[in-house]
Chain A
Amino acid sequence: KQEVTQIPAALSVPEGENLVLNCSFTDSAIYNLQWFRQDPGKGLTSLLLIQSSQREQTSGRLNASLDKSSGRSTLYIAASQPGDSATYLCAVEPRSGAGSYQLTFGKGTKLSVIP
């Protein structure tokens, strides 16, 4: 059974700092890995999707990497801003008959950027 872990559960940084969020998964048989952000009481906003054949994706100040063999992904946020404060979730789409067409999520990292 695929399990996704995100460490740390919470992170507080001063504005302007670069930071890295970590995600690990137990089964490397995945189609893709996605990073989302969730603001309190709201739905999820997709940030980046990395297909299993890719190593990284970039969007603005965000860069996500994927090392499928070691079961790890990182989300790098450059020059953090107070507006980046949210919970960041990673999710994998398992490559298996029973696991297809669904996402398995980590519990998230709650990020606070202090002005």
Chain B
Amino acid sequence: KAGVTQTPRYLIKTRGQQVTLSCSPISGHRSVSWYQQTPGQGLQFLFEYFSETQRNKGNFPGRFSGRQFSNSRSEMNVSTLELGDSALYLCASSFGSSGTDTQYFGPGTRLTVL
């Protein structure tokens, strides 16, 4: 079955712009999580959605937001981009039950802010 897909794979933006990233989970998965990966901080949790509801949110400024649609596809938005937002953004999908679920990650979106 198809894996987690993320679009676009690469993005170049300038400071002050906004960006929207998309994630399509594995069929049947209802949970989508987003992570930011940078060389200095490693992988950091952004937020998690299940059945269109945000269940948990990491320690990121309000410029980072997300949503999930009824078909479980998810988008994240970053407004007023800063240089420090340059990173690999990864999404992961699962069935959504704590404790037993394996997280399946997509290939990521590489965002470069100039």
Contact = CB atoms under 8 A, between A and B. Distances in A.
Same complex origin of A and B? yes
A31 interface: yes
A43 B107 contact: yes
B75 interface: no
Contact of A101 (B48, B100, B102): B48
Interface in A37-94: 41-46, 49, 51-52, 89, 91, 93
Interface string B41-66: 01111001010000110100000000
Interface residues of B, number: 28
Interface in B85-107: 88, 90, 92, 96, 98-100, 102-107
A42 B107 contact: yes
A101 B99 contact: no
Contacts, number: 71
A41 B99 contact: no
B33 interface: yes
Interface of B: 4, 31, 33, 35, 42-45, 48, 50, 55-56, 58, 88, 90, 92, 96, 98-100, 102-108, 110
Interface of A: 31-32, 34, 36, 41-46, 49, 51-52, 89, 91, 93, 95, 98-108
